Amino acid sequence: MNGQKKYIAHLDLDCFFVSVERIKNPDLRGKPVIVGGSASGRGVVASASYEARTWGIHSAMPTARALRLCPHLLVVHGSHGEYDRISKKLYERMCELAPVVERASIDEMNMDFTGCENLYQNDLPGFIKSIQKLVADEFKLPCSIGLASNKTIAKIAVNQVKPAGTIFIPHGTEFTYLAPLDIGVIPGVGKKTGDYLREKGFKKVSDIQQKSEKDILDILGSHGSWIYQVAIGRGSDVIGDEWDAKSISREETFAKDITDRKMLEKIIFELTEDICQQLRAHGWKTRTVTLKLRYSDFKTITHAESIEPTNDDTIVAHTARTLLQSAYTRKLPIRLIGVRLTNFSEEDQMELSLFPSDARKQNILTVVDKIRKKFGDNIIHVGG
């Protein structure tokens, strides 16, 4: 792979939650709609249609305020379980098209097409249009897709062509493409950082590009290195969830940061169910469980623990939950959580268990996997 051009696609489901609700109720189409909590409580907007956004409504806004801005706004409470089920199905479908796929969040995924140029007639920009049509035809969902040399630039580009757009940033043009864009397009430049930079005279990405990395470090500290690197067109081209014996991982970035530990534990178990099912499909067992946490201030930590080889959902989930207790030590909310399994061994290389109960449990897990494959992931759980 050394010296080979990377082709990373970022797929973003447009107004995903709203789009799912419109499939269920076509009367919602063309109207200002949000999926969110009740206005009578502390409900917030989880997803807003583009019609609602013209009224100044956006994600994480209190539902009560959204209704004040747009009195005829339609509020749907929605079902996170349904959204997750559809997201997983789309992920599985994308795995048939790309060698490596990463579900970055419930409504976003990255796909690595490096080395696939000949497979798709040396027209990957044309192929992402085909993917967009496939998502519309098979899932009835609108999406936008960007293709670039790394996933950071691909994500930035997607945000410029939403909704229902596709874009390709050719290799070597990243610097020029980014130059006229507002500094707010850079991941990590939120309102606070953006306001601070504008006070210093930085309005466009080109204003950052004209400085040295040291200049930006002096202004923003260590966080400035990332912002500078993105401004000149660099970013991560490493896609997770690789289907090999090195690791299997799943992570989820939340629409709203979470402090509720019970909710975090529930999400951990959902992630664990998915990756343990993948383990069993490959005939592997894991010896190492790693938990990843990203706080609201973007500080990311990982804690790992070695265990006896297993592919049992309950054992892996228990280990991950124990890691959560030791890892979640700050009072800030969590914006991302992930579980990663490594240090694999193949089941046929393991010694036969002396305990019939272990074999019985493996048979149960095999049956569970078959039921999930036929009727859906949420039809049955093995306990947590």
Chain centroid, CA 362 distance in Å: 30
Maximal C-alpha separation, the chain: 70
In sequence order, the 6+-apart residues with CB closer than 8 A to the CB of 204 are 179, 180, 181, 182, 183
Dihedral sign from CA coordinates of 272, 84, 113, 9: negative
Q: 323: burial class by Cβ within 10 Å (0-12, 13-18, 19+)? A: buried
Chain centroid, CA 90 distance in Å: 13
CA distances from 249 to 9, 260, 273, 384 (A): 19, 22, 11, 19
**Whole-angstrom Cα distance, residue 143 to residue 13?**
4
108 flagged as catalytic: yes
Q: Which two tokens stand for residue 162?
A: 């939403």
Give which of 186, 123, 112 is closest to 149, Cα–Cα.
112
Cβ atoms within 10 A of the Cβ of 371, count?
A: 13
Q: What angle do CA 97, 103, 106 make, to 5 degrees?
A: 120
Give which of 229, 254, 248, 88 is closest to 152, Cα–Cα.
229
**Whole-angstrom Cα distance, residue 41 to residue 62?**
9
Q: 122: burial class by Cβ within 10 Å (0-12, 13-18, 19+)? A: exposed
**Whole-angstrom Cα distance, residue 218 to residue 376?**
52
- Spell 232-264 as b/e; 16+ CB within 10 A means b: ebbbebebbbbeeeebbbbbbbbbeebeeeeeb
What is the secondary structure of 52-97 as a DSSP string? Answer: HHTTT--TTSBHHHHHHH-TT-EEE---HHHHHHHHHHHHHHHTTT
Catalytic residue among 21, 51, 102, 108: 108
DSSP label at 183?
A: G
3-state secondary structure of 138: helix
Active site residues: 108
